[in-house]
Chains A and B, each alone.
Chain A
């Protein structure tokens, strides 16, 4: 039982990180009709910039600095690439984001090299014990911060004019333009929010004892099954999907190692993703696309 609770706690913490990344995918997909494969590399940039700034600035300033850099990068990418491809086919758009991923990854390697860096998390290696279960500061900070960020997003999308405009654009682009909503600006806003979420996710994805390494961008793509499982257009789905993937990975590493060569926990999220795609292509929480009468 102790082991189960221990793994469960770590699984929820990791799942929250995936949830934040998955939310970024969902927001961009809804807001700009683009599934951005370069999102994982935005996570990488976020982590590397935090680590680069940490020795020189107080932590919170390093974090803000990284948000500024990463969001700027996302906005430039959105402006240069995607807005020009707005009328291109979805395949062309996806290929463009794949190209962007390779370019940003190469950029990260050129600037920071292939070696590993330190941790990027806001808290150190400390722990609190409840009974026999060890709650790490990293885990507590991850879960706590993620919940705050999710609440902030809820407020933004529910009760602010820009949040509403973004949802309206996601719902019906031409109708939004007809209401005088600047659709281009909404594309940019969605990419900016996703990039900011990527930075938050990155500091926890590289929180003690995890460290920043060049594969972090690919690791972030583990959120893709979370997105598909939850539903490409569902905020709730992204969070649930993230938790499902995190829990499968950590609990699976504990209880499934005797099966499938010890790699079942790596494969299972993708199996689940395929099952969902076949049985319920719009995801557990996604909308089938409400029909207009």
Chain B
């Protein structure tokens, strides 16, 4: 159990011929911990998530140097499906559920990669729903008709269906009412307590730092600060930049 759940080493990314999006990123998620990645819009948070999940090419991005390791294995050039099979799952920014599939079908699609038998699928579903009881009554509803909070829960539940070791959560509180943010926060903790390692990207720094053990601050494609969550929370500069404005209404960043 010595190697971390997720390790990013000296990672640089660029989009097409445009300027470099990430430069020399080092980041680590120890097993069973929540690590948060903070930063303003356009800092490169989503890019880093895509580099980890393998979806960079969809947006025309290329890794120019560095490594991504999952549970000690180099996955830098693996396809997304291979990474999911190795235990990585993610809930995409903006929730991005399958709008014209039902909640049940959304969840089942999350388990597709595992080729479950019937009993295994039921077990995975029960485990996922144990964290997200609200979904129980919505199973036959089309995902496109859910509320924002429900869609966020579905996105998390769908990611859990592959029974991941590492979970990437991209802006789970984005656009949600404070009360719902509380619920989501509890769900994240609940999942962590089951042993899942979590990389949490958030603009809501207060929420993120309240549950994370460790944090990184990304600006203009570089890590400018990192440290224990408690230290970051107490840092004046961080407080001024992120905690004060707590930009929970910001639009998603794309590069």
A and B, direct touch (CB closer than 8 Å): yes
Point out the residue from B80, B81, B148, B159 that lies within 8 Å of A293, measured CB to CB. Answer: B148
User: With A and B bound together, what is the CA distance between A173 and B59 in angstroms?
Assistant: 12
Total number of A-B contacts with CB less than 8 angstroms?
94
User: With A and B bound together, what is the CA distance between A178 and B144 in angstroms?
Assistant: 18
Which of A131-139, A162-170, A258-266 forms contacts with chain B? A162-170
Question: What residues of chain A lie closer than 8 Å to B53, measured between beta carbons?
Answer: 178
A116 within 8 A of B: no
> A172, B158: Cβ atoms under 8 Å?
no
Question: What residues of chain B lie closer than 8 Å to A291, measured between beta carbons?
Answer: 99, 144
> B99, A164: Cβ atoms under 8 Å?
no
A176 within 8 A of B: yes
Minimal beta-carbon separation of B153 from chain A (angstroms): 13
Nearest to A30 among chain B residues (CB) is B100
User: With A and B bound together, what is the CA distance between A171 and B53 in angstroms?
Assistant: 20
Most chain B beta carbons < 10 A, residue from A87, A168, A175: A175
Chain B residues bordering chain A, tally (CB within 8 A): 39
> B99, A171: Cβ atoms under 8 Å?
yes
> A293, B146: Cβ atoms under 8 Å?
yes
Minimal beta-carbon separation of A19 from chain B (angstroms): 21
Question: What residues of chain B lie closer than 8 Å to A98, measured between beta carbons?
Answer: none
B179 within 8 A of A: no
User: With A and B bound together, what is the CA distance between A180 and B116 in angstroms?
Assistant: 14
User: With A and B bound together, what is the CA distance between A245 and B85 in angstroms?
Assistant: 46
User: With A and B bound together, what is the CA distance between A291 and B97 in angstroms?
Assistant: 11
Nearest to B49 among chain A residues (CB) is A178
Question: What residues of chain B lie closer than 8 Å to A168, measured between beta carbons?
Answer: 98, 101, 105-106, 109, 112
> A179, B142: Cβ atoms under 8 Å?
no
> B92, A174: Cβ atoms under 8 Å?
yes
> B58, A292: Cβ atoms under 8 Å?
no
B90 within 8 A of A: yes
> B113, A181: Cβ atoms under 8 Å?
yes
Instruction: Render B24-41 as a binary contact track against A, CB cut-off 8 A, 1 for contact.
Output: 000000000000000000
Nearest to A179 among chain B residues (CB) is B110
A290 within 8 A of B: yes
> A179, B148: Cβ atoms under 8 Å?
no
Nearest to A162 among chain B residues (CB) is B112
CB within 8 Å for A172 and B147 given contacts A178-B80, A179-B109, A179-B113: no
Question: What residues of chain B lie closer than 8 Å to A174, measured between beta carbons?
Answer: 55, 58, 92, 96
> B99, A180: Cβ atoms under 8 Å?
no
> A290, B99: Cβ atoms under 8 Å?
yes
4 additional contacts (CB under 8 A) given A161-B115, A174-B58, A293-B151: A164-B101, A175-B97, A180-B80, A292-B95
State the 9 A-B residue pairs at the shortest beta-carbon distance, nearest first: A180-B84, A290-B144, A180-B113, A171-B98, A168-B109, A180-B81, A175-B96, A290-B99, A165-B112
Q: Which residues of A contact B (CB under 8 A)?
A: 87, 161, 164-165, 167-168, 171-182, 287, 290-293
